[in-house]
Amino acid sequence: MHFPPTFSRFAVALVILLSSAIGSAQPDFLAGAKPIVAAPPDPVVARALEAIQPANIEQTIKALVGFGTRNTLSSMETDLPPGQGINAAADWVAAQFERIAQQCGGCLEVHRDTFTEPAAGRIPQPTTITNIYAILRGADPSEAKRMVLVTGHYDSRITNVMDARGAAPGANDDASGVAVSLECARALSKLHLPSTVVFVAVAGEEQGLNGSSHLAKLAHSEGWQLEAVLNNDIVGGNTTPGDTLQFKDRVRVFSEGVPTAATPEQARRMRALGQENDSPSRELARAIADTARTYFPAASGTAFAPVLVFRPDRYLRGGDHTSFNREGFAAVRFTEWREDFNHQHQNIVIPEAGSKDPILGDLIQFVDFNYVANVARLNAATLATLALSPGEPANVTIVTKNLDNGTTLHWDPPAGAGAGIHYELLWRETSAPDWQFSQTVAPQTDGGQATVTVPISKDNVIFAVRAVDTSGHRGLPVVP
Ligand SMILES: [Zn+2]
């Protein structure tokens, strides 16, 4: 069962109300507790989101389908008709980023990173792969090092992943995700964000996450301060006639538990403290849900919310977020609520008229452009909120010197954060999936570090600290 997000907030408010009505005997974790409420929408961000239109998305997916195949191996086919194959698609994607850059006075740096993937697995011969990405540099010199990133893969496949020539429209998988990256660039290039946003289209996903692996390693080796990676893969809202179980008001967000990149010692500590549900990727997933409550409020008539799935990906499947997880970055995957496997990774088969057999193939007729637009809006709102926020508190620790029933936390301000920020302590019961309570705290300074003590037992709840600016932009919560 999927409860609307308002349900849990209602339940929390009820618990607080009942406890105060009963009198003095309330659990310690309700001391100073306010239920989590949606942040106020930023009118500038809300206006930027209006640039995201289903018609743009339709145009993008039509153009990408028009390249016949975008199989990664087609980069080595020298006798394809002009305008066909993945190299032509790469040119087109780069040209779209260039066009958006022209419309914002050159605000985007467009990069084409072409490299040769050696033969292995699903790569039969050394193969040219091109990643395309556009960087919107942060306007604040002290914050520009902080980065958030959105990605989709522009390569496609059919039944035989090694088939470099057969028609492989890849409308949902993953022209839809590329459309999200382009729409985020279109919308956010209208803003002056203090920190940096990167808009990405990678190739090689179907052959073995080659493009994203290359980019994630580059980001790691160059020391990119990536706070969030949003991977959109199969976000077309598959529209198959007769499918009554596809819901258009939700998108799944997959996140890893114990981080793939955790060292054995870090994993041991997470097990010891019950922190297997609090990886940075999972805090990012919760922040996406928080953003949805702000920009898709229940009363707006546009019901749309992420469903947080607490596993790295679907059964038997993988995606580009995993490449970033491997390099130690917080990264999640957006995917439509219910996939139709007749319309993924299949040779195109159109049955004869009157046949009961299904149409096979990842065709554009099964993509819902309105749905993709909502996914793009949620991505763009999340990227903007995080880019505008003060960033993440550093060196967050919980004092564990003595056995006691209170909690003391220490942290350093986010690097580069300006004046006027404040901090919220968040907490939840250990069995709750999302943050339940918050309290704005006025930390003391202890040896340069912020410190706060609350009369709540650290044994029964999970705490986090987040930094918030004067306009209410919330940074990612950090668990000690
Ligand atoms: Zn895919």
Note the pLDDT of residue 447: 78
CA 345 / ligand 1 centre spacing (Å): 9
| Percentage with pLDDT > 70 across the chain | 95
CA 409 / ligand 1 centre spacing (Å): 41
90 backbone dihedrals φ, ψ, rounded to 5°: -60, -45
pLDDT band at 4 (very low <50, low <70, confident <90, very high): very low
Per-residue pLDDT of 51-93, as tens digits, reads 999 999 999 999 999 999 999 999 999 999 999 999 999 999 9
- Closest alpha carbon to 39 in 424, 310, 417, 415: 424
Q: Is the pLDDT of residue 412 over 60?
A: yes
CA 28 / ligand 1 centre spacing (Å): 46
Per-residue pLDDT of 84-112, as tens digits, reads 999 999 999 999 999 999 999 999 999 99
CA 157 / ligand 1 centre spacing (Å): 9
Per-residue pLDDT of 135-194, as tens digits, reads 999 999 999 999 999 999 999 999 999 999 999 999 999 999 999 999 999 999 989 999
Beta strands in 362-406 (DSSP E): 394-398
CA 56 / ligand 1 centre spacing (Å): 21
CA 467 / ligand 1 centre spacing (Å): 34
CA 4 / ligand 1 centre spacing (Å): 28
Predicted model pTM: 0.95
Share the mean pLDDT of the chain. Answer: 93
CA 225 / ligand 1 centre spacing (Å): 26
164 backbone dihedrals φ, ψ, rounded to 5°: -90, -5
Q: Is the pLDDT of residue 18 over 70?
A: no
Round to whole Å and give the CA distance between 375 and 186: 14
CA 233 / ligand 1 centre spacing (Å): 5
CA 171 / ligand 1 centre spacing (Å): 10
Beta pairing, strands 250-254 & 331-336: antiparallel
CA 156 / ligand 1 centre spacing (Å): 8
CA 100 / ligand 1 centre spacing (Å): 25
Which residues lie closer than 8 Å to 400 by C-beta, 6 or more apart? 458
CA 40 / ligand 1 centre spacing (Å): 34
Contact (CB, 8 A) for 189 and 207 = no
Note the pLDDT of residue 299: 73
CA–chain centroid gap for 182, Å, is: 15
Round to whole Å and give the CA distance between 256 and 166: 35
CA 150 / ligand 1 centre spacing (Å): 14
Determine the average pLDDT of the residues in 368-377: 98
Q: Is the pLDDT of residue 7 over 90?
A: no
CA 175 / ligand 1 centre spacing (Å): 9
Per-residue pLDDT of 215-235, as tens digits, reads 999 999 999 999 999 999 999
Round to whole Å and give the CA distance between 147 and 153: 20
Determine the average pLDDT of the residues in 447-455: 91
Residues recorded for the chain:
480
- The helix (H) or strand (E) run that includes residue 270 is helix 264-273
Handedness of CA 47, 51, 52, 54 (dihedral sign): positive
The CA distances from residue 425 to 63, 102, 129, 140, in Å, are: 47, 42, 45, 27
Q: Is the pLDDT of residue 23 over 70?
A: no
Q: Is the pLDDT of residue 5 over 50?
A: no
CA 241 / ligand 1 centre spacing (Å): 22
CA 172 / ligand 1 centre spacing (Å): 8
CA 144 / ligand 1 centre spacing (Å): 31
CA 206 / ligand 1 centre spacing (Å): 7
CA 318 / ligand 1 centre spacing (Å): 8
Note the pLDDT of residue 417: 78
CA 321 / ligand 1 centre spacing (Å): 11
Peptide bond before residue 174 is cis, with ω within 30 degrees of 0: yes
CA 389 / ligand 1 centre spacing (Å): 30
CA 7 / ligand 1 centre spacing (Å): 33
32 backbone dihedrals φ, ψ, rounded to 5°: 70, 15
Tokens of 211: 């493009």
Tokens of 242: 């007769």
Q: Is the pLDDT of residue 20 over 70?
A: no
Contact (CB, 8 A) for 42 and 178 = no
Round to whole Å and give the CA distance between 360 and 348: 5
CA 195 / ligand 1 centre spacing (Å): 29
Cβ atoms < 10 Å from Cβ of 6: 14
CA 463 / ligand 1 centre spacing (Å): 35
Contact (CB, 8 A) for 133 and 201 = yes
If you ran DSSP here, which 8-state letter would residue 142 be given? T
CA 229 / ligand 1 centre spacing (Å): 16
CA 209 / ligand 1 centre spacing (Å): 10
